[in-house]
Amino acid sequence: MFGMSEGLIILAIVVLFFGGKKLPELGKALGQSLNSFKKGLKDEEEKDKIEDQNKKS
């Protein structure tokens, strides 16, 4: 996907754009967003499993 040099370039652009003080906040927000997205996917899978079990019985 991305090589080391591309990752460093993207990181440098982000630091220049947002500044060093905002990076921890951005990282935290990104982590929370990913966790929320994963939780939503997991909930949908569980919902589908329950519906499949109800159809079989």
- 2 domain residue, yes or no: no
pLDDT at position 57 is: 67
- 10 domain residue, yes or no: no
* Full-model pTM: 0.57
Q: What tens digit of pLDDT does each residue of 1-14 get?
A: 678 999 899 888 98
- 15 domain residue, yes or no: no
Domain count, the chain: 1
Domain that holds residue 40: 20-57
Q: What tens digit of pLDDT does each residue of 23-51 get?
A: 888 889 989 999 999 999 898 888 888 88
Q: What contacts 2, CB < 8 A, 6 or more positions away?
A: 10
Spatial separation of the C-alpha atoms in residues 49 and 43, rounded to whole Å: 10
- 55 domain residue, yes or no: yes
